[in-house]
Structure 1
């Protein structure tokens, strides 16, 4: 995907970083048909989401076609502090990828 597809915020409170992200993606499950042609629409969904901070993977999630369009992902982790950078990335079943970096506030 050409444009940035991830909006991300990360905030530290008492040593726990809370990450909130919104990913723009169609998340098309299998089994759908084009209403005009009746032909099957190939599935297109995010398969893996990862988050890295300080050179370590702090979160990894496997998704499927059952997740709704434009998924929202929120999680918490420890081991980082205000001012550190973190990176959130996704890869979909068609080989497309995107990532975004954010400074922990």
Structure 2
């Protein structure tokens, strides 16, 4: 199992906080063929992503194979303030998962 990196960025936008999460993940659909071997590349994609704001789940996203490799996923948080705690968790169809914790940083 490869190490999957995640990065989180926040910024103030139109009276709310925009959160962007970049996830290192192959997001394979299962439809592509390996050019060297001719074999189908098995599906490998994020199925579920959960966002917590100050310990409360504020979004759960069921995703599928139609999202690009290394997806950039964004959210808008209306009630977020500087220093609030954020936690993102994802899991995929092959049993991999990752969690990233951070805080709202508007500096």
How far apart are residue 30 of structure 1 and its match?
1.4
How far apart are residue 43 of structure 1 and its match?
0.4
Aligned to 2:56: 56
Q: Is the 8 A contact 1:15 1:79 kept in 2?
A: no
CA RMSD in angstroms, aligned pairs only: 1.9
SS in structure 2 of the partner of residue 48 of structure 1: strand
TM-score, normalised relative to structure 1 = 0.86
Aligned to 2:92: 92
Within-5 A mapping of 1:76-87: 76-87=76-87
Query: Following TM superposition, where does structure 1 have runs of at least 4 consecutive aligned residues deviating by more than 4 angstroms?
Result: 12-15
- Find the aligned partners of 1:55 and 1:14 in 2 and give their Cα distance: 24
Aligned to 1:66: 66
TM-score, normalised relative to structure 2 = 0.84
Of 9-18 and 47-56, deviating more is 9-18
